[in-house]
């Protein structure tokens, strides 16, 4: 499995099979891997962060001298993993974490973006950076938006290569309804990573939140035509089309999102619900059953089970 953007390559070294043993949500699992640079050398002191907004939790780990890391305590589900190190472009990607079978190792390859840290950056240890990120995230989780933005900007001032922090800054601005500032943060990330999928989707969602569906559609259409377009762009384009009543177009984009990531239940759930709206019970049953099969521990799987129960009454 391989995810790309213009700055990085996120490689999962082995495929995994689905195997559940017992109540999935009650069990914690571990994920490990290696962080190297684009010359194949291990990076010591890199930070790897795992995030899952559905659980409201994140985990982080620091690599050893051989570039190895282990994240312990993750719940089964889909997680976003980000590796970052000084003087390197950050790298991120998503993987479904499973139980009942070993998870494949994550192999990060970070591209060098400049010389080793000197001057003001020379004294910043990986553990200090990790602590600063955790403190900024805590402010964000407490909904202290302005303080969180200030904390994130302070980190970026000391470690300017961590441009992905703009995503958190933009999210804070969106939460406080400062849409222009949010768009500015997303644009700052796109200045260095023009195909960043999260930033492109964020711009579209920001426009939606301020009531400009047309601008959202234009942003997503542009992103969908790019070489690095992925599942989130396609899915959110389906969301925009559905919001304006263009159901056939929405179906097309949901199907494309599902084809891009067959293990993701969300577009399949949307397809099932649209089929229900049309009165097509056979298609609805097919899609909802697929959700449970491919993404069994997701929120969409729980919703699909409820819908199927109602259909079968």
Q: Identify the band that residue 149 occupies on the pLDDT scale cut at 50, 70 and 90.
A: very high
Domains of the chain: residue spans and CATH: 1-116 (2.60.40.1120)
Q: What is the pLDDT of residues 258-281, one digit of tens each?
A: 998 888 889 999 999 999 999 999
Whether 217 and 224 have beta carbons less than 8 Å apart is answered as no
Of 10-24, 94-108, 211-225, 235-249, least confident by mean pLDDT is: 10-24
The mean pLDDT value of the chain amounts to 80
Q: What is the pLDDT of residues 151-191, one digit of tens each?
A: 999 988 887 777 888 888 999 999 999 999 999 999 998 88
């Amino acid at each position: 499995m391989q995810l790309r953007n213009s700055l990085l390559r996120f490689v999962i070294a082995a495929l995994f099979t689905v195997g559940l043993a017992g109540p999935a949500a009650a069990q914690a699992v571990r994920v490990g891997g290696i962080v190297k640079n684009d010359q194949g050398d291990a990076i010591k002191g890199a930070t790897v962060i795992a995030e899952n907004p559905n659980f409201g939790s994140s985990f982080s780990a620091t690599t050893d001298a051989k570039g190895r890391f282990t994240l312990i305590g993750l719940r089964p589900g889909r997680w976003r993993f980000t590796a970052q190190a000084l003087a390197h472009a950050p790298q991120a990607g998503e993987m479904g974490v499973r139980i009942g079978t070993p998870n494949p190792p994550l192999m990060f390859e970070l591209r060098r973006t400049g010389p080793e840290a000197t001057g003001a950056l020379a004294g910043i240890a990986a553990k200090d950076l990790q602590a600063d990120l955790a403190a900024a995230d805590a402010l964000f989780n407490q909904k202290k938006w302005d303080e969180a933005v200030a904390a994130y900007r302070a980190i970026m001032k000391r470690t300017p290569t961590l441009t992905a922090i703009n995503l958190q800054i933009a999210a804070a601005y969106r939460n406080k309804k400062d849409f222009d500032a949010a768009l500015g943060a997303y644009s700052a990330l796109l200045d260095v990573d023009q195909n960043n999928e999260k930033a492109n989707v964020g711009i579209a969602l920001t426009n939606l939140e301020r009531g400009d569906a047309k601008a959202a559609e234009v942003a997503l259409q542009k992103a969908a035509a790019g070489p690095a377009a992925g599942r989130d762009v396609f899915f959110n384009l389906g969301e925009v089309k559905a919001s304006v009543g263009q159901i056939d177009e929405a179906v097309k984009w949901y199907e494309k999102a599902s084809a891009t990531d067959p293990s993701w239940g969300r577009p399949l759930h949307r397809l099932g619900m649209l089929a229900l709206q049309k009165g097509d019970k056979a298609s609805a049953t097919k899609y909802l059953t697929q959700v449970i099969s491919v993404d069994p521990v997701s929120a969409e799987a729980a919703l699909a089970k409820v819908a199927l129960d109602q259909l079968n009454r």
